[in-house]
A and B are shown apart, each in its own frame.
Chain A
Amino acid sequence: MVQLEELIIHLLLNFIAREDLNAFLRNPQHTATIVGSLIAVSGALLGTFLLLRGMSLTSDAISHTVLLGIVVAFILMGSVFGRHPDLSSGWLIVGAAAAGVATVLLTELIYRSGLVKQDAALGLAFPLLFAIAVILVSRVVSDVHLDEDAVMVGEIGVAWANTNSHCLDGCESVTITPEDPRAETTRQCTNCRDLGISPRDDKAEFTQICTNCGHYSPAQAWQAGFTGQEPVLVFWPKSITVMAVLTLLTLLAIVLFYKELKLSTFDPTLAAALGFRPTLLHYGLMVLVSLVAVGAFDAVGSILVVAFFIIPPAAAYLLTDRLPRMLLYSSLIGAAGAYTGYDLARGNLLGIADLSDILAALNNLFGLGLSERWDSSISASMVLMTFLFFLVAWTFSPKYGLVSTMLRRRNQRRSFDHQVVLGHIHHHQDSPAAGEELAVSTLYRHFRWTPAKMQRTLRQLRAGNLVQIDAGLVTLTERGETRAHQFRQTQLTNESVGE
């Protein structure tokens, strides 16, 4: 991990000065946006396949149970190796992956018993594992940074502060021993306290101790004045590396196994028959979901992770009929949600409105006395923005949106009304009863329509030059005749396929 960070840093330093890079990364917004976007992209890619497999909520289950993996790995690390790893350690990630797979296995075990339905099986399995995790956290792991806030909404806002420092130049670390000329020594009384005497007392015995001995990192050494050159450091947020690696891994898996994932999602039976291993692919996908969930856990907490898996694919699903585009769109929507979500958390809604101003206006109008500084959870705001994008897709998607569906239905209804009237005229215009059947004033009765609807329809038909009105009687124009004929041919015969 550390080597990888150094590699990235050296690469970046070709394009950007070190001071600028540090300043860039020290800005909470930049780190939060980068981490959030990486979570959103990897979540969206995996979530697309989950959505198409009808198992979106599995990501919710897994994002909770990874906590068990984290805690168990934490305890094992503590008791076996005697050290506590931080939340980006590789072992915690292995534990989380195992927990994710365990969740799916347990769910299937319960489901296969045939006594419980699929969704209930999921609902049985994951609270169990999550409950065990919660108990372990509170009983066994006491002085650990796994508090409720972290579990609820994460701390993407402070992701910038948890860094690895990489030293590029002047990397002299210093160790001061008591023999060192720079060592500062002082005398300390060794028996004063025991005897209850003052150091001035004759009986007092003294020993030399060193006050500044120990190991100094390059930065500390420079601060303490042991080195003449200020070390050149880059402070790299750990969560960027973790999420970047996970995103790359996800991308790689989806690019390499795109065909296999697509086939086993669309038609697992054929996938099995052709010798691809749908079960293997299934668990591979679950491992990836667990990895991303645990990587994201730190940043956005276990409850909101699921939004990054579900909302962007759900929006993309409404926007396209092609899987590659769905993957692309959902990634873009996720990243856009993360990017604009940070601004929303600071009160800025897409650059359109400042929520602080709105609060101020409310205070002015109603005297509510609300705090006018809008400062809310970053991860929650990211989810809100992503949902906003979903809402836009849901309403305005050209093909499946609410608006276009409504318009299409209205057009269909209207064109059907037209056909009904055209058909009626076609049927009766040459019959003896034409005078009675086709009188404009009473035509509406034959359809049991309101006169207004009849008028409207006739107006539309006349505008389309499909009917003409002559001495109070409606007849088809030549165009109307053709249209009525066409309708009978295409709609009233059986479907003809491909010919």
Chain B
Amino acid sequence: MSVHSGRDPQNDSATALEIDDLTVAYNSKPAIWDIDLRVPEGVLMAVIGPNGAGKSTLIKAALKLIPRAAGTVRFYGQPYEHVRGLVGYVPQRGSVDWDFPTTVLDVVSMGLYGRLGWIRRPGQSERESAMHALEQVGMQDFADRQISQLSGGQQQRTFLARALVQDARIYLMDEPFAAVDAVTERAIITILRELRARGKTVVVVHHDLQTAPEYFDWVTLLNVEIVATGPIATTFTPDNLRQTYGGRVAYLHEGQRIAGLEEE
């Protein structure tokens, strides 16, 4: 693994995630339609699109968490079932019950359950890995905290630590920046950049157009169908945004942000 953040991922032959003809429908209404997507290894990619564009659906369908109407998904050339250990997943924070009677450390060690397999229990070494992951997200002092006592940002970091502990090659994250404070947001993006520096591929469902060009080097613009995908410098254009959001949002931000884009 010698991919550096400076290297142009387009010339990298390795494809981390390859999606062909993927369609998912809820009650025969397509949520995502005929998606073809290649995510090169080593990129930090944002999936951007309006509400209801199918961003979360794309990630869930890739992981077979919801049934696919059509299409194939391959991670490193293999179906997901064969390479579960290579894929780390961070669900939306709101998808679980934070009143569940358990500790932060326990939630983080859940990331190791896949490696343990059925029946085997986590032991000392698993606790150490989990503790290490908590240190990475700056939450080591909260290890024994009941999870209901966490703030939103701390919950998100706990989830991130749970993904880190999986030591995957590609991470799929569903809105990790949703409703977190500025401190947490900076902490998360630092971790994401560290992951990229270590050659990991990171796919992030992202909402904030303001920060996208600063945070990510690759982008997929999605609105049920793929509008555009590629390096952020060439893909995150006013035209593409207008096409994704139907004109409104791109117009709103055109002055400040697209100008900023030219400098990147």
- On whether the beta carbons of A275 and B121 are closer than 8 Å, the reply is no
Who on chain B is nearest to A325 by CB?
Answer: B101
| Proximity string of chain B (131-164) to chain A, C-beta cutoff 8 Å, 1 when within and 0 when not | 0000001110110001010010110010000100
| Other-chain contact of A270, B27, B89, B119 (Cβ < 8 Å) | B89
Contact A274 B151 (CB under 8 A): no
Given known contacts A52-B100, A267-B91, A320-B101, A274 and B184 CB-to-CB distance under 8 angstroms = no
Residue among B65, B110, B183 making CB contact with A497, cutoff 8 Å: B183
State in angstroms the CA–CA spacing of A317 and B148 once bound together.
Answer: 13
- Give the residue of B97, B107, B114 whose beta carbon is less than 8 angstroms from that of A274: B114
Check B259 for interface membership: any CB of A closer than 8 A: no
Please provide the chain B residues from 173 to 196 with a CB less than 8 Å away from any CB of chain A in the complex: 181-184, 187
Tell me which of B118, B122, B183, B184 contacts A260 (CB under 8 A).
B118
**Interchain nearest-CB distance for A254 vs B (Å):** 12
CB-based nearest A residue for B100: A266
The yes or no answer to A323 lying at the interface (CB within 8 A) is yes
Residue B215 is within 8 A (CB to CB) of chain A in the complex: no
Q: Is B63 an interface residue (CB 8 A)?
A: yes
In the complex, whether A489 has a CB less than 8 A from a CB of chain B is no
Give the CA-CA distance A423 to B116 in the complex, in Å: 55
Q: Does A272 contact B (CB under 8 A)?
A: yes
| B97: A residues at CB distance < 8 A | 52, 54, 266
Residue contact A317 to B91, C-beta cutoff 8 Å: no
Give Cα distance in the complex from A325 to B157, angstroms.
Answer: 26
Which chain A residues numbered 350 to 385 have a C-beta less than 8 Å away from chain B? none
Contacts of B107 in A (CB 8 A): 266
Return B188 CB to nearest CB of chain A, in Å.
11
Question: Is there a chain A Cβ closer than 8 Å to B252's Cβ?
Answer: no
Which of these, A265, A276, A322, contacts B103 with CB under 8 Å?
A: A322
Contact B101 A321 (CB under 8 A): yes
Q: Mark A444-471, 1 if CB is under 8 A from B, else 0.
A: 0000000000000000000000000000
Complex contact A326–B101 (CB within 8 A): yes
A195 contacts chain B at the CB level, 8 A cutoff: no
B65–A266 contact, CB under 8 A? Answer: no
**A499 — which chain B residues lie within 8 A by C-beta?**
138, 183
Q: State in angstroms the CA–CA spacing of A491 and B188 once bound together.
A: 24
- A272 near B65: Cβ-Cβ < 8 Å: yes
Which residues of the other chain, B, contact A198 by a CB distance below 8 angstroms? none
Within the complex, which residue of B60, B113, B157 is in contact with A498, where a contact is CB–CB below 8 Å? B157
Whether B63 and A322, one on each chain, are in contact in the complex, defined by CB atoms closer than 8 angstroms, is no
Q: Provide the B79-119 mask, 1 if CB < 8 A to any CB of A, else 0.
A: 00100100101010001110011110001001001101011
Interface string of A267-286 (1 = CB under 8 A from B): 10111111110000000000
Closest CB of chain B to A221's CB: distance in Å?
51
Q: B113 to chain A: which residues have CB within 8 Å? A: 259-260, 263, 271, 274, 276
User: Is A228 positioned at the interface, with any CB of B under 8 Å from its CB?
Assistant: no
Q: Is A495 an interface residue (CB 8 A)?
A: yes
Which chain A residues (321-349) contact chain B, with CB distance < 8 Å? 321-323, 325-326
B102 in complex: contacting residue of A114, A269, A322, A496, CB < 8 Å: A322
B91's closest neighbor in chain A, by CB? Answer: A269
Chain A residues positioned under 8 Å from B87 (CB to CB): 273
A18 contacts B by Cβ under 8 Å: no
Q: Once bound together, how far apart are the Cα atoms of A259 and B120, in whole Å?
A: 8
- 0 or 1 for each of A90-123: is its CB under 8 Å from B? (1 = yes): 0000000000000000000000001000000000
Whether the pair A497, B101 counts as a contact (CB closer than 8 A) is: no
Name B121's closest neighbour in chain A (CB-CB). A259
Q: Which residue of B lies closest to A266 (CB)?
A: B100
Q: Distance (Å) between the CB of A331 and the closest chain B CB?
A: 15
Report Cα–Cα, A276/B142, bound state, in Å.
Answer: 28
Which residues from chain A contact B154 at a C-beta distance below 8 Å? Answer: 497-498
- Asked if B121 and A498 make an inter-chain contact with CB atoms under 8 angstroms apart, the answer reads no
Partner of B183 from the list A263, A267, A325, A496 (CB cut-off 8 Å) is A496
Using a CB–CB cutoff of 8 Å, the interface residues on chain B facing chain A are 27, 60, 63-65, 81, 84, 87, 89, 91, 95-97, 100-103, 107, 110, 113-114, 116, 118-122, 137-139, 141-142, 146, 148, 151, 153-154, 157, 162, 181-184, 187
- Between-chain CB contacts (< 8 Å), 20 pairs: A52-B100, A259-B113, A259-B121, A266-B96, A266-B107, A269-B91, A270-B91, A270-B162, A272-B64, A272-B65, A273-B89, A273-B114, A274-B114, A275-B81, A276-B113, A322-B101, A495-B151, A497-B154, A497-B183, A498-B142
Q: Closest 8 interchain pairs by CB?
A: A274-B114, A498-B138, A321-B146, A273-B89, A497-B153, A267-B96, A266-B100, A269-B91
- List 13 additional A-B contacts (Cβ < 8 Å) besides A260-B118, A265-B100, A272-B65: A52-B100, A114-B27, A257-B118, A259-B116, A259-B122, A266-B102, A267-B96, A269-B65, A269-B91, A276-B118, A321-B101, A494-B183, A497-B138
